[in-house]
Chain A
């Protein structure tokens, strides 16, 4: 299953300008990834580095663990479904399409929720009605997420991501508990 949205090529170059202008940002085409939305709610500094290709995920045992859990626990699902710019952990098809995201723990719940919301918003733009389910296999819990009444929240998040990505240098990191497990810890604080 592989949808590719039809980009309007004349709009396309706007993405590459350095200055972010909300008036010209083409909200009719969504070019950011779920991970970027997720990182916005974890740490803007991390988002900036990630968006510039300065990635550290290859260093993270947490990322490995997540991948492992996903592969083991959901072995029979239709996995890693790419739709344009977004990549969904797995989907189930029923009356409406269900998109499923697998997460390790609840500590970043807001980020997980916004990522799922972004997927729903993205699919809605393509005319696909869907609902989202977050899986916490370690906690044996699931959580449903719907887009109803939350479109503005996700639109604001998209604009925030674009604004941060357009900064010439990353936002100053803020030290917190989550830094301790972050793969970017050394890069930020060295």
Chain B
């Protein structure tokens, strides 16, 4: 009875009649079993009735909205049902204490970098990256301001992107060697997936006692759920970058999956459909977890990361970011 995510790509109306949620469009009316829904991702033009929202709130189902370009707009984040005053205090305490905040911020950057390193090795383009990381990690340790941490992070990312391109086919280079606007297929793909990942993480945080607005690497309130941004540093390379690379190198996406608009290259509806279905498949894949000794889905790894953070904040065990072993 695992609950699942629902993606609405087509246009229509989401409404409630009695105790059933329906999605209706010209192709018909489809009942959605509300007990089986974990969260909803809306890409199409969808009207939602307030009755439907009441119902979703009651069931604790978050709804994430994406705009015409597939970028994240915002979420219907129902009233929190999981509260732990104790944990909120500790989250805030770790933000307010400079040392503790720095420690966490550095851990997110470290974890992110180690996942990038794994990717580059996997793609056999890691030349010199590990040695570079050693140096940059030393700098990271010495950083005593968040801006310095951010700075190191940006440099790591730059080195990573430069090497990553070496593995990508010409049509899907991130940094295209042409004088066109910077937007291109790969950038469009990565941004689209990052938006989706961010919303996935927001959903996971909603299902824990963590307050999603108190963050460490990113400034709280920089965007609304900045803790999801912190966690996405770990999962962007481990999930999005790998998936985007696979889509590009295995020729799963063609020119027809993209369209050019004034403000750059975008995925078409068909492209989004393809990418989202691959994303769902990817998150549903399970891997054997060495610590738990059981299989967990990649999506579950996000939740587990939240649990590790809780244990760090409570003082049970120091946070060690996930480094993709799979």
Contacts and interface: CB of A to CB of B under 8 A. Distances in A.
Interface of A: 52-55, 58-59, 61, 64, 168-170, 185-187, 189-190
Contact of B292 (A58, A61, A186): A186
Given A55-B82, A187-B310, A169 B304 contact: no
Given A186-B304, A190-B291, A190-B307, A53 B316 contact: no
A168 B308 CA distance: 17
A55 B82 CA distance: 7
A89 B135 CA distance: 62
Contact of B307 (A53, A58, A64, A186): A186
B145 interface: no
Contacts of A53: 82-87, 209
Nearest to A168: B315
B207 A169 contact: no
Nearest to B84: A53
Contacts of A168: 315
A103 B229 CA distance: 42
Interface string B273-311: 000000000000000000110001000000110011011
B24 to A, nearest CB: 29
Nearest to B35: A64
Given A54-B87, A58-B207, 16 more contacts: A52-B87, A53-B84, A53-B85, A53-B86, A53-B87, A54-B84, A55-B209, A58-B81, A58-B82, A169-B316, A170-B316, A186-B304, A186-B307, A187-B311, A190-B291, A190-B292
Nearest to B209: A54
Given A169-B316, A190-B291, A190-B308, A52 B86 contact: yes
A169 B307 contact: no
Interface of B: 1, 60, 81-87, 207, 209, 291-292, 296, 303-304, 307-308, 310-311, 314-316
A55 B81 CA distance: 11
Contact of A189 (B87, B292, B303): B292
Contacts of B311: 187, 190
B315 A169 contact: yes
Nearest to B305: A190
Contacts of A59: 207
Contacts of A185: 292
Lowest 8 CB-CB distances: which A-B pairs, in order? Answer: A53-B84, A52-B86, A187-B307, A190-B304, A190-B307, A54-B84, A169-B316, A169-B315
Nearest to A61: B1
Contacts of B87: 52-54
A58 B87 CA distance: 18
Contacts of B1: 61, 64
Contacts of A189: 291-292
Contacts of B304: 186, 190
B215 to A, nearest CB: 19
Contacts of A64: 1
A175 to B, nearest CB: 10
A58 B316 CA distance: 22
Contacts of B310: 54, 187
Contacts of A190: 291-292, 304, 307-308, 311
A152 to B, nearest CB: 31
Nearest to A65: B1
Contacts of A52: 84, 86-87, 314
Contacts of B86: 52-54
Kindly name the residue among B87, B291, B303, B307 whose own CB sees the greatest number of chain A CB atoms within 10 A.
B307
20 contacts: A52-B84, A52-B87, A53-B82, A53-B83, A53-B85, A53-B87, A54-B84, A54-B209, A55-B209, A58-B81, A58-B207, A59-B207, A64-B1, A170-B314, A186-B292, A186-B303, A186-B304, A187-B307, A190-B307, A190-B308
